[in-house]
Amino acid sequence: MRITCLASCVLNQWALDFEGNVKRVKASIQQAKQRGARYRLGPELELPGYGCEDHFLELDTTEHSWESLVELLNGDETDDIVCDVGMPVIHGGVRYNCRVFVLNRKILFIRPKLCLANDGNYRESRWFTAWQHQKKIEDHQLPPAIVAVTGQSYVPFGDAILTFIDASMGSETCEELFTPAAPHIQMALNGVEVISNGSGSHHQLRKLNTRTDLIRSATGKCGGVYMYANQRGCDGGRLYYDGCACIAVNGEIVAQGEQFAIQEVEVVTANVDLDAVVGFRGAFQSMAVQASASDKYPTIRVPFTLCPTDYVSQVPHPPCEIRYHLPQEEIALGPACWLWDYLRRSGASGYLLPLSGGADSSSTAAIVGSMCQLATAAAISGDDVAAADIRRIARIEGTDSLPSAKELARILFQTVYLGSENSSAATRSRSSALAAEIGASHLDVRIDAVVAAVIAFFTSVTQKTPKFKVDGGSDVENLALQNIQARIRMVLSFVLAQLMPWVRGRGGFLLVLGSANVDEGLRGYMTKYDCSSADINPIGGISKRDLRSFLRWGADKLGYPTLALVEEAPPTAELEPIRDDYVQTDEEDMGMTYEELGVFGRLRKISRLGPVEMFKRLLHEWKHRASPEEIAAKVKSFFFYYSSNRHKMTTLTPSYHAENYSPEDNRFDLRPFLYNVKWPWQFRKIDEVVMARERSYQESI
């Protein structure tokens, strides 16, 4: 048996934090060595951090990456272990997204990415070029700083494989795994036994199985060992990289790391038997024919054994069940970890949330509660970085004991109920009950005096006093009176965020949390610059439907029973006066249900349908629940509101990316924001389809 120990790492890197990034890379190599690994794989672009974006265009970023590599090569980290490190490299004047293989303080080989990630959140071809020469290598001239350390002037650069004394290895980078003609197929046909993939891949609800299915099928079909490494956490933007390093052998996962965690460095190791790979392929005759005919890769020969003889006593890791989180758990964990990274890296002293007792702000509060639970649990279980972050943010002396999750919430989480004359006792009491369950410091205040002052100001300027519709006012007056309340809540939230730490004798500032969900954004059912305008928003990419099931789940699993009461209540803005015959509700106001909004959202973005094609699709999907006229009216209504409110997306608070149907305008869903909201051409085509169907129905009876 040829048994080797392999290590795949998850690192919580931060764009441009070279100091911290190289420290975490070193820590991961040390852990890998302690566990006896002969090869260590790190995430994509781990030295500068994956999310540097346009900073990749700066020469500084590549230079500092080389400087970071010098730090590694100068120490003993790379002694007796092959380290595969992600960084940008400029070769022949062109910048590539590369894997740099190092061993015993020398560079073995540099492998550029062949297929860049360019859809959805990814824009790699803005900063990098895909290597165009498959199965070809060139000499790469090393920068002087590296020459001084390694004594090497040139190293091989390109699409090659590594052969050790006793094993062979090849690498592909992130997106390459997702492509139809993935390099691992050619590598397997070339007899490569270990294929590694250093990734920078983000979390999206219910997405993990896409990745693990690809990993399993990569070696299920051709045999081999597949190693996956990923970044973790918020590295400075809207994405949460969700780790989950794993190692697969012949189609079965043998080791899997955490998808969400506070821990900055996680090393997943497995003992694997490379002879099992040869055995698998040896019995696969049709593959052997293709392998025999395949074009050969250039080979980098490395005089190093991957499977030392003393490993004979080691037992290979058996296959294990893949662990998936429920979507509700994903909501509790992903955004909570993202909030923790944001908080500890921003220098803020905590979060402030305007907590209405409704579904959205209550979900947000529960996520902050989950963040406190995760951070304290990590610190108590011995994570020194988490403990130091808690002490710094909460201003706890080194000798004092660490706080519980509830105590931490009291220190760093301020909630506030901003009641008006239209607020109900029910939302008010849910707000304070939930805050108490989480442990947050809660304020229960009224905004009526400020609202009255704004209306008095308006009356003094115009001699007119707007009225609510229920009191005989027009639609314009009714909307304006609602928006005054909503916007005042935003202003007061920022005032409190700035001054409450001072009031409590703590100093610093709080970040204001927004809690508009993805569906409200899509429909524009929100007041521009109300509490939806905040510093960051953990639920801006999550649908109302998912939030409601999260609330039901969280009542029990997070230990906040009030969430169940919140979930049962119909969503309402409480901006209009309540009367015996009138209570404002979201779905009635919007003229569509949250469920319908979810359908429109997915068809618009994920299925890429415009008004006419969406209408045609729904004619089939909704044929048992609505007539063609009704479906036409719903589709037109959606496109009218979506397009007339699209401008609100341009100022949307940055939020955690969780859904592929996110309308987020800045990075993900790039669209104009001034539309002809009548959609005359498109709506006429819809009418024509409705009329044609009506005619054919009439003719058939």
Ligand X SMILES: NC(=O)CC[C@H](N)C(=O)O
Ligand Y SMILES: Nc1ncnc2c1ncn2[C@@H]1O[C@H](COP(=O)(O)OP(=O)(O)OC[C@H]2O[C@@H]([n+]3cccc(C(=O)O)c3)[C@H](O)[C@@H]2O)[C@@H](O)[C@H]1O
Ligand Z SMILES: Nc1ncnc2c1ncn2[C@@H]1O[C@H](COP(=O)(O)OP(=O)(O)OP(=O)(O)O)[C@@H](O)[C@H]1O
Catalytic residues: 44, 113, 174, 356
CA dist 38 and 47 (Å) reads 21
Residue 640 interacting with ligand X (CB under 6 A): no
Q: From the CB of residue 654, how many other CB atoms can be counted at a distance below 10 Å?
A: 17
Residue 519 interacting with ligand Y (CB under 6 A): no
Residue 200 site contact among ligand X, ligand Z, ligand Y, none (CB < 5 to 8 Å, cut-off depends on kind): ligand X
Instruction: Report which DSSP code applies to 250.
Output: T
Residue 480 interacting with ligand Y (CB under 6 A): no
Find the part of the chain contacting ligand Y (CB under 6 A) among 84-92, 98-106, 268-276, 480-488.
Answer: 480-488
| CA dist list (Å): 105 to 31, 86, 101, 150, 168 | 18, 16, 10, 6, 21
Q: Which helix (H) or strand (E) holds 339?
A: helix 327-346
Exactly one of 207, 528, 616, 678 binds ligand Y (CB under 6 A); that residue is 528
Residue 236 interacting with ligand Z (CB under 6 A): no
Cα 545–546–548 angle (5° rounding)? 65
Find the part of the chain contacting ligand Y (CB under 6 A) among 117-125, 391-399, 526-534, 542-550.
Answer: 526-534
Residue 307 site contact among ligand X, ligand Y, ligand Z, none (CB < 5 to 8 Å, cut-off depends on kind): none
Exactly one of 8, 163, 219, 361 binds ligand Z (CB under 6 A); that residue is 361
Residue 200 interacting with ligand X (CB under 6 A): yes
Residue 175 site contact among ligand Y, ligand X, ligand Z, none (CB < 5 to 8 Å, cut-off depends on kind): ligand X
Residue 356 site contact among ligand Z, ligand X, ligand Y, none (CB < 5 to 8 Å, cut-off depends on kind): ligand Z
CA dist 677 and 679 (Å) reads 5
CA dist 394 and 647 (Å) reads 39
Q: Which residue is nearest to ligand Y (CB)?
A: 573
Q: From the CB of residue 627, how many other CB atoms can be counted at a distance below 10 Å?
A: 14
The answer to whether the CB of 198 falls within 8 A of the CB of 84 is: yes
CA dist 642 and 611 (Å) reads 11
The answer to whether the CB of 31 falls within 8 A of the CB of 265 is: yes
Question: What tokens appear for 656 in the block?
Answer: 């955690």
Please give the span between the terminal C-alpha atoms of the chain, in angstroms, as a whole number.
Answer: 77
Find the part of the chain contacting ligand Y (CB under 6 A) among 200-208, 234-242, 338-346, 476-484.
Answer: 476-484
Write the DSSP assignment of 120-181 as a string of letters: TT--GGGT------TT-EEEEEPPHHHHHHH--SEEEEES-EEE-SS-EEEEE-THHHHSTT
Q: How far is CA 620 from the centre of its chain?
A: 33
Instruction: Report which DSSP code applies to 655.
Output: B
Q: From the CB of residue 463, how many other CB atoms can be counted at a distance below 10 Å?
A: 7
- Residue 372 region by backbone torsions, left for phi larger than 0, else alpha for psi between -120 and 50, else beta: alpha
Residue 360 site contact among ligand X, ligand Z, ligand Y, none (CB < 5 to 8 Å, cut-off depends on kind): ligand Z
| DSSP-based three-state secondary structure for 309 | helix
The answer to whether the CB of 163 falls within 8 A of the CB of 326 is: no
Residue 573 interacting with ligand Y (CB under 6 A): yes
Residue 122 interacting with ligand X (CB under 6 A): yes
Find the part of the chain contacting ligand X (CB under 6 A) among 73-81, 195-203, 384-392, 415-423.
Answer: 195-203
| DSSP-based three-state secondary structure for 74 | helix
Q: Which amino acid is at 328?
A: Q
Strand partners for 256? 246
Residue 402 interacting with ligand Y (CB under 6 A): no
Instruction: Report which DSSP code applies to 391.
Output: H
Residue 299 site contact among ligand X, ligand Y, ligand Z, none (CB < 5 to 8 Å, cut-off depends on kind): none
Residue 647 site contact among ligand Y, ligand X, ligand Z, none (CB < 5 to 8 Å, cut-off depends on kind): ligand Y
Instruction: Report which DSSP code applies to 104.
Output: T
Site string for ligand Z, 407-426 (x = CB under 6 A): ----------xxx---x---
Residue 532 Cβ vs ligand Z, minimum distance, rounded to whole Å:
6
Exactly one of 46, 264, 520, 665 binds ligand Z (CB under 6 A); that residue is 520
Residue 635 interacting with ligand Y (CB under 6 A): no
CA dist 64 and 535 (Å) reads 30
Residue 558 interacting with ligand Z (CB under 6 A): no
Residue 479 interacting with ligand Y (CB under 6 A): yes
Angle in degrees, 0-180, between the axes of helices 384-394 and 359-380, rounded to the nearest 10: 120
Residue 123 interacting with ligand X (CB under 6 A): no
Q: Which is nearer to ligand X, 126 or 392 (CB)?
A: 126
Residue 486 interacting with ligand Y (CB under 6 A): yes
Q: How far is CA 131 from the centre of its chain?
A: 27
Find the part of the chain contacting ligand Y (CB under 6 A) among 375-383, 479-487, 538-546, 560-568.
Answer: 479-487
Identify residues 629-688 at the interface with ligand Z (CB under 6 A). Answer: none
How does strand 225-233 pair with strand 246-249?
antiparallel
CA dist 480 and 468 (Å) reads 9
Residue 274 interacting with ligand X (CB under 6 A): no
Count of residues engaged in binding ligand Y, rule: CB under 6 A: 14
Identify residues 565-584 at the interface with ligand Z (CB under 6 A). Answer: 571, 573
Residue 479 site contact among ligand X, ligand Y, ligand Z, none (CB < 5 to 8 Å, cut-off depends on kind): ligand Y
Residue 44 interacting with ligand X (CB under 6 A): yes
The answer to whether the CB of 598 falls within 8 A of the CB of 543 is: yes
Residue 589 site contact among ligand Y, ligand Z, ligand X, none (CB < 5 to 8 Å, cut-off depends on kind): ligand Y
Residue 46 interacting with ligand X (CB under 6 A): no
Residue 419 site contact among ligand Z, ligand Y, ligand X, none (CB < 5 to 8 Å, cut-off depends on kind): ligand Z
Residue 575 interacting with ligand Y (CB under 6 A): yes
Closest of 153, 152, 150, 379 to residue 263, by C-alpha: 379
Exactly one of 217, 483, 498, 593 binds ligand Y (CB under 6 A); that residue is 483
Question: What tokens appear for 292 in the block?
Answer: 């025999």
| Sequence-ordered strand ranges (E) for 264-423 | 265-273, 299-301, 350-354, 413-419
Residue 447 interacting with ligand Y (CB under 6 A): no
CA dist 507 and 495 (Å) reads 14
Residue 530 Cβ vs ligand Y, minimum distance, rounded to whole Å:
4
Residue 644 Cβ vs ligand Y, minimum distance, rounded to whole Å:
7
Residue 545 Cβ vs ligand X, minimum distance, rounded to whole Å:
23
- Phi first, then psi, for residue 140 (nearest 5°) are -110, 125
Exactly one of 17, 58, 70, 178 binds ligand X (CB under 6 A); that residue is 178
Write the DSSP assignment of 516-529 as a string of letters: --HHHHHHT-S-TT
Residue 113 Cβ vs ligand X, minimum distance, rounded to whole Å:
8
Residue 583 Cβ vs ligand Y, minimum distance, rounded to whole Å:
13
**Interface ranges with ligand Y (CB under 6 A):** 479, 482-483, 486, 525-528, 530, 573, 575, 589, 647, 674
**Interface ranges with ligand Z (CB under 6 A):** 354-356, 358-361, 417-419, 423, 489, 515-516, 520, 526, 530-532, 571, 573
**Interface ranges with ligand X (CB under 6 A):** 44, 117, 122, 174-175, 178, 199-201
